[in-house]
């Protein structure tokens, strides 16, 4: 996919470019807000990555103007200011996700992929399927290989998120933010335990595991 990176810090810019290119994306870069906005307006990109504080025009203002000009390309905002209210401000301006600096490469790649996949959904989805695992979003039921699996409401949301991003790496922070709406960093391995509970329900009685641990980054649901 084509990614536009607008970042004025040359080191961070180089890091972003290399990470995204390694992941198989085509990357263009801009150094300031005005150039970035002009390039983004072409709408030839699949994902836009903006720094929040840019010379000439702030990332947040660019997103707001792009959105009011009808450009709906998903935006990931990067910022050293990752406080809750700044995050909310960024999202209100029209950004689709917000990542605090410094960040892990895997975290960045996972979020960029998640944004791109999220965009392709046409209309509301009522069924999700990964391999022989099926989720009915209306009846709120889950079956694997025809057998019904009972899930707690939160487990259901966790699995739903994983299924919506099937095949992608999903980080612990992403799960914490998107499934629980928590924006702090628990000291204990809380997320891992939730995952292993879920894994026990969907994988234990079956020959092929679907929920994989990606060492050092997070998890991936894949058939």
Q: Residue 82 CB, nearest distance to another protein (Å)? A: 8
The pair of three-digit structure tokens given for residue 91, joined into one six-digit string? 């999202």
Residue 189 as a binder of another protein (CB under 8 A): the answer is yes
Residue 197 interacting with another protein (CB under 8 A): yes
Determine the Cα angle at 122 with ends 39 and 201, to 5°: 115
Please report how close the Cβ of residue 187 comes to another protein at its closest, in angstroms: 4
Nearer to another protein, 43 or 88 (CB): 88
Stretch that binds another protein, among 2-10, 38-46, 59-67, 187-195 (CB under 8 A): 187-195
In a 3-state reduction of DSSP, which class is residue 65? helix
Measured between its terminal Cα atoms, the distance across the chain in Å is: 23
Residue 38 CB neighbour total at 10 angstroms: 11
The CA-atom distances, in angstroms, between 157 and each of 98, 114, 135, 205, 214 are 21, 16, 11, 21, 20
- 190 binds another protein per the rule CB under 8 A: yes
204 C-beta neighbours (distance < 10 Å), count:
8
Per rule CB under 8 A, count of chain residues that contact another protein: 18
- Site for another protein (CB under 8 A): which residue of 120, 146, 185, 215? 185
- Which residues contact another protein (rule: CB under 8 A)? 83-84, 102, 154, 180, 182-190, 193-194, 196-197
């Amino acid at each position: 996919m084509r990614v536009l990176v607008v970042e004025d810090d040359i080191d961070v810019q180089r890091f972003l470019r290399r990470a995204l290119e390694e992941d198989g994306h085509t990357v263009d870069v801009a150094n300031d807000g005005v150039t970035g906005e002009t390039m983004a307006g072409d709408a030839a990109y699949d994902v836009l990555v903006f720094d929040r504080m840019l010379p000439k025009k702030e990332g947040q203002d660019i997103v707001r103007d792009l959105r009011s000009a009808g450009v709906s390309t998903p935006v990931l905002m990067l910022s050293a200011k990752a406080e809750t209210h700044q995050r909310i401000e960024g999202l209100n301006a029209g950004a689709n996700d917000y990542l605090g600096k410094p960040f892990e490469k895997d975290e960045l790649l996972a979020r960029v992929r998640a944004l791109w996949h999220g965009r392709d959904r046409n209309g509301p989805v009522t069924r999700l399927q990964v391999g022989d695992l099926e989720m009915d979003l209306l009846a709120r039921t889950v079956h694997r290989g025809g057998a019904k699996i009972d899930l707690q409401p939160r487990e259901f949301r966790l699995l739903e998120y994983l299924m919506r991003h099937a095949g992608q790496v999903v980080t612990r922070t992403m799960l914490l933010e998107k499934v629980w709406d928590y924006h702090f960093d628990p000291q204990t391995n809380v997320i891992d335990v939730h995952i292993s509970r879920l894994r026990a329900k969907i994988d234990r009685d079956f020959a092929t595991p679907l929920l994989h641990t990606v060492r050092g980054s997070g998890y991936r649901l894949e058939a």
